[in-house]
């Protein structure tokens, strides 16, 4: 193969695309449809990471809005 990617799977690009979709608000059902997944366990890591990122951004935004540094 000219690209040097012989014997490689499409897992990493699919995972990256699924993470981007999750970060942009795609639901698990939407990602299932986009990527052709039929098992619920497949999109979970992407969802978890995106949810943590959203929560972190939301928490920081709330601290900035209230000016509070006390937890």
| Domain ranges for the chain | 11-66
pLDDT for the residue 4 = 63
Q: Which has more pLDDT, 33 or 69?
A: 33
Four-CA torsion 19, 24, 27, 30, nearest 10 degrees: -80
- Helices 28-35 & 11-23 angle (0-180, nearest 10): 150
The CA-based angle 33-56-21, given to 5 degrees, is 20
Confidence of residue 1 (pLDDT cuts 50, 70, 90): very low
Q: Does the reported pTM lie above 0.75?
A: no
**What letter would DSSP give residue 46?**
H
């Amino acid at each position: 193969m000219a690209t040097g990617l012989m014997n490689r799977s499409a897992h990493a690009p699919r995972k990256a695309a699924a993470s981007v979709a999750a970060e942009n608000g795609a639901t698990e059902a939407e990602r299932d449809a986009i990527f052709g997944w039929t098992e619920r366990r497949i999109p979970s890591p992407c969802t978890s990471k995106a949810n943590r990122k959203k929560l972190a951004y939301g928490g920081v935004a709330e601290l900035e809005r209230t000016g509070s540094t006390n937890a």
